[in-house]
Chains A and B, each alone.
Chain A
Amino acid sequence: MQSTTNRRVFSKEEWEKKLSQVQVDRRDLNLLVMNYLVVEGYKDAAEKFSEETGLDPGVDLKSIAERMAIRTAVQRGEIDKAVELVNDVNPLILDSNPSLFFHLQLQKLIELIRQGDIEQALKFAQEELAPKGEENPSFLEELERVMALLAFEDRTSSPVGYLLQQSQRQKTASELNQAILTSLAQEKDPRLPSLLKTLLWAQEQLKSKAIFPEMDITTGVLSDPPKE
């Protein structure tokens, strides 16, 4: 069926019929799930999933436990502990990655500011971070952004208040997690998000050529095709 704009129109029934003809291997699905659990560090879930599906996780689950301990430490704001744990896994990770190490130290500075230990924060910024900022203009910019927190009474509502949110800890934790995975020669990005991105992009591209029921990626449910 053709629309008035010459785009092909698919009804929901027609679309669902076409989808049902596509074969997807269960093993491939399981691999995707396992990949996500391993990369994101869900050790217990990966273990259980491995037991139930018979799939080999492909990595040492103990290494997942180590990564998760590090991630948890960052998410709790325990940066010194996270650094110690990373150095136990592989001390070269931080030593060979000045940018990552700087971001961890910045996170430590944020935690000191969050705790209200301003004197310690200033001392830490002066002794540890300022010298690095002098060597690298991009580091200096990031340091200045964090130091801007000190200029506001109500830090959480300030323009740089986002630095105090959990999402900032999450960002630092993810960066660290990826570096650890890279050092272990493992994939640092799970495949599932890429797959979803491809799906969304393909739907956008197809919209210019056809009218069809779009899939909501959060629910997996097909909507009714839009009317022209």
Chain B
Amino acid sequence: MDETIGTGSLCLESEATDTLKETVKRIKNLCVGHPAKKQAYIKQGIIPTLLKLIDRRDSELTWQICGTIGILANNNVAGAEQVASNSGLCTLLSLLSSDDERLVKQASLCILGALKSVERPAKIFLENIQLLESVCSLFCNPFASASLRECTCFILTSCLENAESEQIVDWFRISNFCFEKLKSCNLRDPRTLTPYLNVLKSLTMRNREIGKQFIEHNFVELLVEVMKGVDMTLKVIACRLYTNLMNFSLLQEDQASKDTAVIIMPLLNRMLSNRDRNIQLEGCKMLTQVVAIAEIYQQQAFDCNLVHCLIELGHNINISDVEAACILLQAVAAVCSLVEECRRLVIESRLFSLVVNSLDTSYPELRIAGLSALRSLSRSVRNLRASLAEAVLMEPLLRSLSDENKQVQIQALSTVCNLVLYFSPLKNSFLESNGLTTLLNLCHSNDKSLKYYAVWALKNLLFLSGSKMKKRIIDEIGMDYIFCLIEKGEDYSFQEQGINLLRNLTCTFSIECERENILDFIDEHCYRLVLCIQDSLQSPCMEVVLQALYVVCNFVVGSERHKQAICNSKIPKLLLNFLTNPSYLIRIATIWCIINLIWKETNDINDVSNLADYRRARIASFMEMGYEEMLEGLLADSNVEVRGRAEMALQLLRDRTISDFGDENDYEQVSRGILL
């Protein structure tokens, strides 16, 4: 502490107000621009001492104290935490209702400085509703000064960034106040709009109703005018607000698309190209938000050279700058999620190295962001292949599957889902690197999310795979695992995944060769499989039912034994009911089941003879059940594909076949792989 403080005329313990004022002022002037001195004073406990000295009867002294506390707390976490403690804030907030405008301004600056220097400013207010309510009242004071408005605006927006805040305060009171002020603001000086637009921006992040009211008050045009203005801070706020409205689909699509292309994307380009790191990162965050809304905005981002801007940013951001790298990678993930050209640019650039290198850092948030970007890029396996990405990608990706952080594992699994979907060297590389073993281990994970995504990846791995691959997988995981997923699945999502696995397993088309033989293990488990399908067809979850229908389609191809197994169960009766299901997908799938069941086969895997006799018997049985009338009814279905397939099924049923020998390629074989 300064030596003069304890001595003579400069003393904080003095009774004389003038001495106190001088002392406080001197401390302030000593500490400005001197972090070391600030720290020394703070360690001595000066902030609580100063807070106790606050005396509303002496505005001048209080004014000096606020200035000094503000300096001590500015950019100093320890000081800010002391100021922003419950009692400190209560004392300072009480000054904001003073009649002394100068004091209000100083107290506002003090509070603002402290809150901007603490880690989680909203926490204090969210834990003390009365404090938050008093801030709301101060904000809504129609005669509040600019500094008071700025201070309370900062508090409110910080709180609103936090989802917990939604239920605790009547935010409509705040939004209505903002609407009134917007109507009466001086538009020649748009900066007067700042606090109201800022609060509305935060309010509309999660509150659709307030967004709707914003539009009903006809403020969209004002927003567009502000976005076209010159004040960068205001433009960014307005853009964020506009994007929030887009998020809730509150704006006309074509108008939103035009405004985004003409105003928002060029603004983002300028922000990403700005030298100020904070503006660059804010631009990245806004880009992430905008392009997540719809594919068209990702395309606009490409057209506006924003991907190039991100690539340029990647040259200047070091991976050791974790915050910046995370924000950049999240933007890459968002902008590359749906548009091929964006992915191609990133994969061919040095930015791809940042993506791969992020997988090996010690920061889980950075690994997650990197994997999120990789997941988007992995939707373009062809481009990854062309850039020889597998040379650098596979090892760190596989390590991520065994990461200690669950979120990292999930993102890695999602990426693997995409990489193994198609036949490619990347898929082979995954298998050769023991990826399958890791994946199958995760299929047995006790963690529901991990298990779910692992099974999804397995499903994609089986998509259009050959029999060799299928055998290998089943040898390791066993059919029992798949049946258990379906029979004892934790919930419908797992049942659905299990049925999807069966669907892909039973499909005899593969990308490697067009038709393959039905796998032995499918045949061996024929009856259990039929029971499984039968139960699944009675599930209340329509997605499970649909996938089960696809399994039936695949299962009965080329095997009389399988057809008989199906027809000897309750399944034909269930199929009849599905012909009138409200979902056209279910109706189509059902008709395909019927077609495949009564198809004129030429070969049978079990070399069953008299196929024609069995077929006739089956058709007779279907006729008896009333299939003909039901299919006739579908000739007038609203869906054109339903009508077409119903006609085909009827022709088969009435034995008026398309040709003597059915074309095997007309079988509907349904395999499914889905990009994540």
User: What residues make up the interface of A, taking CB atoms closer than 8 Å to B?
Assistant: 58, 83-84, 87-88, 90-92, 94-96, 98, 101-102, 105, 185
Contact = CB atoms under 8 A, between A and B. Distances in A.
Contacts of B194: 185
Contacts of B29: 83-84, 87
Contact of B32 (A58, A101, A185): A101
B510 interface: no
A91 B75 CA distance: 13
Given A58-B189, A185-B191, A94 B67 contact: no
Interface of B is mostly: helix
Contact of A95 (B25, B75, B146): B75
B146 A91 contact: no
A105 B146 CA distance: 31
B558 interface: no
Contact of A83 (B32, B68, B189, B191): B32
A162 to B, nearest CB: 25
A91 B28 contact: yes
A176 to B, nearest CB: 13
B109 A87 contact: no
B288 interface: no
A58 to B, nearest CB: 7
A31 to B, nearest CB: 9
Contacts of A94: 32-33
B79 to A, nearest CB: 11
Interface string B168-194: 000000000000000000000101001
Interface in B497-533: none
A114 B12 CA distance: 37
Which of B29, B74, B75, B146 neighbours the largest number of chain A CB atoms within 10 Å of its CB? B29
Which of A90, A91, A102 neighbours the largest number of chain B CB atoms within 10 Å of its CB? A91
B70 interface: yes
Contacts, number: 43
A92 B74 CA distance: 7
A202 B327 CA distance: 42
Interface in B142-189: 146, 189
Contacts of B25: 84
Nearest to B231: A185
B71 interface: yes
Contact of A92 (B113, B146, B191): B113
A96 B76 CA distance: 11
Interface of B: 25, 28-29, 31-33, 67-68, 70-71, 74-75, 109, 113, 146, 189, 191, 194
Given A83-B32, A95-B32, A185-B146, A88 B67 contact: yes
B70 A92 contact: yes
A185 B190 CA distance: 11
Nearest to B71: A91
B75 A96 contact: yes
Contact of A87 (B32, B113, B191): B32
A84 B194 CA distance: 30
B236 to A, nearest CB: 15
Given A83-B32, A87-B32, A95 B74 contact: yes
B60 to A, nearest CB: 11
A143 to B, nearest CB: 15
A90 B33 contact: no
Given A87-B28, A98-B33, A101-B33, A92 B71 contact: yes
Given A83-B29, A84-B29, A91-B67, 7 more contacts: A87-B28, A87-B32, A91-B68, A92-B70, A95-B31, A95-B74, A101-B32
B474 to A, nearest CB: 65
Among all A-B residue pairs, the 10 with the closest Cβ atoms? A101-B33, A91-B71, A91-B67, A95-B32, A94-B32, A95-B74, A95-B71, A94-B33, A92-B113, A92-B74
Which of B33, B74, B189 neighbours the largest number of chain A CB atoms within 10 Å of its CB? B33
Nearest to B186: A58
Contacts of A96: 74-75
Nearest to B68: A91
Nearest to A96: B74
A55 B674 CA distance: 67
B33 A92 contact: no
Contacts of B75: 95-96
Nearest to A80: B29
A102 B74 CA distance: 18
Given A58-B189, A96-B75, A87 B67 contact: yes
A87 B26 CA distance: 11
B194 to A, nearest CB: 8
Which of A84, A95, A185 neighbours the largest number of chain B CB atoms within 10 Å of its CB? A95
A95 B109 CA distance: 12
A142 B131 CA distance: 47
Which of A94, A98, A185 neighbours the largest number of chain B CB atoms within 10 Å of its CB? A185
Contacts of A92: 70-71, 74, 109, 113
B27 to A, nearest CB: 11
A9 B417 CA distance: 73
A91 B189 contact: no
A42 to B, nearest CB: 21
A123 B606 CA distance: 102
B64 to A, nearest CB: 9
A223 to B, nearest CB: 34
A90 B71 CA distance: 10
B241 to A, nearest CB: 19
B226 to A, nearest CB: 15
A102 B109 CA distance: 22
A101 B29 CA distance: 12
A101 B70 CA distance: 17
A57 to B, nearest CB: 12
A91 B33 CA distance: 10
A34 to B, nearest CB: 13
Contacts of B31: 95
Given A87-B28, A90-B109, A185-B146, A95 B33 contact: yes
Contacts of B109: 90-92
A166 B25 CA distance: 30
A94 B30 CA distance: 12
A91 B24 CA distance: 13
A179 to B, nearest CB: 13
B256 to A, nearest CB: 30
Contacts of A83: 29, 32
Nearest to A105: B33
B623 to A, nearest CB: 84
A91 B171 CA distance: 33
B189 to A, nearest CB: 7
Nearest to A84: B29
Contacts of B68: 91
A88 B33 CA distance: 15
A101 B33 CA distance: 7
Contacts of B146: 185
A92 B33 CA distance: 9
Contacts of A91: 28, 32, 67-68, 70-71, 74, 109
Contacts of B32: 83, 87, 91, 94-95, 101
8 contacts: A83-B29, A91-B28, A92-B74, A94-B32, A95-B74, A96-B75, A101-B32, A185-B146
A91 B68 CA distance: 8
Nearest to B36: A131
Contacts of B189: 58
A173 B392 CA distance: 56
Contacts of A58: 189
A146 to B, nearest CB: 17
A219 to B, nearest CB: 31
Contacts of A88: 67
B74 to A, nearest CB: 5
A94 B109 CA distance: 13
Nearest to B194: A185
